[in-house]
Amino acid sequence: MNAPSTHPAPAATEKADDIILEVRGLKTYFPVKKGIWRRVVGHVKAVDGVDLTLRRGETLGLVGESGCGKTTLGRSIIRLIEPTAGSIHFHHGGERIDLMQLGRGEMRRLRRELQYIFQDPFSSLNPWMNVFDIVSEPLVVNRVASGSELRGRVESLIRRVGLKPDHLRRYPYAFSGGQRQRIGIARALALNPSLIIADEPVSALDVSVQAQILNLLEELQDEFNLTYIFVAHDLSVVEHISDRVAVMYLGEIVETAESGELYRNPSHPYTAALLSAVLDPDPDRRPERPRMKGIVPDPADAPPGCKFHTRCLYAEPHCAREVPVLREVAPGHESKACASCLERMRAEATGRAAEGVESASDRAEDVPHVSPAPLAAPVEDADNSPSNEGKQ
């Protein structure tokens, strides 16, 4: 996997054909309505000015707490949700296509290239369709294959995701969470897409099954030359699979860097707080004090200035007034942290190092990542959910 980049726009030296997606100033606001007349009294700013650039064949991890806007951003990029403003350019067949300008029919046709894997494998599959119908549906609807060719393609897909052809007659209830996610992956692959947005595809799964699904996604990426946006709320999962990570807070990207660099040198207090949460599963090793305070504010009433200021341990009066912008803090590493908070973060890290206390980045080596497990095919998930019992 190559390293992706986020804002700014691609430099002239970058090969244009490496870029697959450019998102600029993307906003998705949901109206808040009240009263019997359902008057619009405000907006939930779920995505509030996001810039991203992805290169072909790479994985961008998108991370942030629940409610930060990850799902809305992922769905807005492929217009499963209509964005409010901004631009989305998709590079395909030598063209730079402005997705925001496409009509419904054109967008539907292009969606063959842009697939989505849903978070919840239990509710994302139609319970009334058997696996053959679920996986074949995109091929049938788009008139890509029929008859024996269709059968052959579906069987090959289902084998490739680690299931067996005799699973094709069964219904979703007969499968474990991991197996259902494999079915969702087979369906997403059916039309041979270029870009897949995987929305927390392993969050609902046991850790052992998570590793199998992550391995599968990585193998498929190389095999099918896929580009991924991989959404997660857990930085440990994101680091394992991502070339680069974008950290999202209240609809904005607050930090982005190559994934190893982000762990070694977190440069926004929010990233440092998320990192300390995954680095210290052992209560004895957790920081003496929490790395941030409170909970995610209501995105319909986001704090002014730096949106993180109500939770930031370094906040100063100016933080409530000045809107920070993403700026480079190291090559390829951008952060919205202001100069004074970066200075304080660095001084703290230096102080800890001088005292011999492990810093977040020191402990990064010990992160209990979901490690790649050998993938046997076909896989029977180590998932002992009742629905899986006796149904293999």
Ligand X SMILES: Nc1ncnc2c1ncn2[C@@H]1O[C@H](COP(=O)(O)OP(=O)(O)O)[C@@H](O)[C@H]1O
In single-letter form, the type of residue at position 112 comes to R
- In whole angstroms, give the CA distance from residue 320 to residue 318: 5
Binding of Mg ion at residue 72 (CB under 5 A)?
A: no
Q: What is the DSSP letter of 105?
A: H
> Tokens 């991370």 — which residue?
63
Q: Is 70 among the residues that bind ligand X (CB under 6 A)?
A: yes
Chain centre to alpha carbon of residue 261: 18
CB nearer to ligand SF4: pick between 64 and 269: 269
Q: In Å, what is the CA distance from 170 to each residue of 167, 174, 180, 314? A: 5, 7, 11, 55
CB of 303 to ligand SF4, least distance (A): 9
Residue numbers 340-359 binding ligand SF4 by CB under 6 A? 341
**Would you count residue 64 as binding ligand SF4 (CB under 6 A)?**
no
361 near Mg ion, judged by CB under 5 A: no
Site for ligand SF4 (CB under 6 A): which residue of 202, 306, 349, 367? 306
Q: Alpha-carbon distance 73 to 231, whole Å?
A: 10
Closest residue to Mg ion, based on beta-carbon distance: 71
Shortest distance (Å) from residue 328 CB to ligand X: 26
In the numeric block, the tokens 């030296």 are attached to 13
From the CB of 267, what's the least distance to ligand SF4, in Å? 10
Tokens of 25: 């100033």
Q: E strands within 200-251?
A: 227-232, 244-249
Which one of 1, 131, 135, 337 is in contact with ligand SF4 (CB under 6 A)?
337
Q: Packing angle between helix 207-224 and helix 177-189, nearest 10 degrees?
A: 10
The binder of 134, among ligand SF4, Mg ion, ligand X, none, by C-beta within 5 to 8 A per type, is: none
Cα–Cα dist 326/62, whole Å: 16
* CB neighbour burial string for 83-98, b if at least 16 within 10 angstroms, e if fewer: bbebebbbbeeeeebe
The Cα 268–Cα 248 span in angstroms is 11
Binding of Mg ion by 28 (CB under 5 A): no
The partner in contact with residue 269, picked from Mg ion, ligand X, ligand SF4, none with C-beta cut-offs of 5 to 8 angstroms by kind, is ligand SF4
Residue given tokens 């209509």 in the structure block: 82
Stretch that binds ligand SF4, among 171-179, 219-227, 233-241, 308-316 (CB under 6 A): 308-316
57 binds ligand X per the rule CB under 6 A: no
Give the binding range for Mg ion (CB under 5 A) out of 70-78, 130-138, 213-221, 370-378. Answer: 70-78
Q: Does 5 bind Mg ion (CB under 5 A)?
A: no
**Contact status: 299 vs ligand X (CB under 6 A):** yes
In angstroms, give the least distance from the CB of 239 to ligand X.
18
Smallest separation (angstroms) from ligand SF4 to the CB of 27: 20
Report, in Å, the least distance between residue 115 CB and ligand X.
Answer: 18
